[in-house]
Amino acid sequence: MNVSPEDVATNSDRAVAEALIALRKLSSEAVERIVDAMRSEHLSFGEAAIHLGLASPKDLEEAVSWARGHEDSPSLIETAIRRAQGASSSVVLRHGDIVRPGSRITLLHEPDSPRSETIRALRTELLLLLEDARRGNVLALLSPSPAEGRSQLCAELAVAFAQLGRRTLLVDADLRRPRQHLLFGADNQWGLSQALGLGEAPYLYGVQGVPELSLLAAGIVPPDPLVLVSNRRFERMMDEWRRTYDFVLIDTPAVSQYADALAIATAARRVLVVNRAQSSSFKEMKDLLRRLAPTQARILGSVLNKF
């Protein structure tokens, strides 16, 4: 099950829920328990959190105070992100920086290799599966567990689409253990987490040798990534990407560990499932598909990684 502050009944209760989640650093599992208690006991989010011992009356009072009296001020998540930035918040942003892809991006460093040919073949198959391959195609890559090659495949597919001369955006939405900045040698001090948490315009990197590709790194790891990727800001940002880019490839955290990818899949509407040969278990894949079903995202296919 995938839940967020949007699952609660009223706008005011949603604001309280978001504040309480950030204040108490509630995990996705804790939020699920609270929402279940809300429905079964007919309680508000705050009352259910207290009922389950996940928050105190004082915590709820502070969350309500923020929700009612600070509508135009920075949220608790925003404050936490600014605090995590520390001195880096004063650094002048270098818009238009060009990053250099690392050696693991085989399409650029070994274009004639068997893996590069496989990536181009996968690109062709995806183009045939898309209803409209001209504009606004958003695709989230999901995997059951870590270390299944999802991040590298996401990066290589983004390069492959951009090499067709199509405007492509690579987004690192793994706000738990981001990797795209490592694959491209980018600074990860500013990225998706700040764009979502602070309401700032996303800071995009250009990629050397691939003029049609832009990279949005994850940025500083926030206190509760699930809240950020479940926020309406992310949906609005994705709508803007659909109008601006031909292809958007989104890297996500492992589904077996976090619910973030399910929220991202809901907004992306299309997913590609990645698993590793002789590593991913049938049980993990079955659980991924079960949890993915309520998102109503279209599964374009499954990739079996061999490396």
Over 80: is that where the pLDDT of 94 sits? no
Over 70: is that where the pLDDT of 304 sits? yes
Separation between Cα atoms, residue 113 and residue 92, nearest integer Å: 40
Separation between Cα atoms, residue 52 and residue 180, nearest integer Å: 38
Cβ atoms 198, 81 nearer than 8 A: yes
Per-residue pLDDT of 211-232, as tens digits, reads 999 999 999 888 889 999 998 8
- CA pseudo-torsion sign 183, 83, 264, 98: negative
- The partner residues of 140 in beta bridges, in order of sequence, read 250, 271
Comparing CA positions, the residue from 251, 223, 230, 258 lying closest to residue 145 is 258
Sorting pLDDT into bands at 50, 70 and 90, what band is 135? confident
> How is residue 21 written in tokens?
């989640």
Sorting pLDDT into bands at 50, 70 and 90, what band is 112? very high
Per-residue pLDDT of 168-207, as tens digits, reads 999 999 999 999 999 999 988 889 998 998 887 888 999 9
User: Could you tell me which residues come within 8 angstroms of residue 232 by beta carbon, excluding any fewer than 6 positions away?
Assistant: 6
User: Could you tell me which residues come within 8 angstroms of residue 129 by beta carbon, excluding any fewer than 6 positions away?
Assistant: 300, 301
Look at residue 89 in the predicted model and tell me its pLDDT.
44
Side chain identity, residue 115: R
Does the domain at residues 90-305 carry the CATH identifier 3.40.50.300? yes
What is the number of other CB atoms lying within 10 angstroms of the CB of residue 208? 14
Which helix (DSSP H) or strand (DSSP E) does residue 172 occupy? strand 168-172
For 97-109, b where at least 16 C-beta lie within 10 A, e where not — what string? eebebeeebbbbe
> How is residue 267 written in tokens?
């907004």
Cβ atoms 137, 130 nearer than 8 A: yes
User: 36-43 contacts: CB < 8 A, separation 24 or more?
Assistant: 38/8, 38/9
Cβ atoms 189, 38 nearer than 8 A: no
Separation between Cα atoms, residue 7 and residue 10, nearest integer Å: 9
Pairing of strands 205-207, 210-216: antiparallel
Cβ atoms 142, 268 nearer than 8 A: no
Look at residue 73 in the predicted model and tell me its pLDDT.
43
Over 90: is that where the pLDDT of 79 sits? no
Cβ atoms 191, 172 nearer than 8 A: yes
What is the number of other CB atoms lying within 10 angstroms of the CB of residue 68? 11
Comparing CA positions, the residue from 105, 147, 168, 125 lying closest to residue 272 is 125
What is the number of other CB atoms lying within 10 angstroms of the CB of residue 14? 18
For the chain, what are the domain ranges?
Answer: 5-73, 90-305
Global pTM?
A: 0.71
Cβ atoms 101, 108 nearer than 8 A: yes
Pairing of strands 247-251, 137-142: parallel
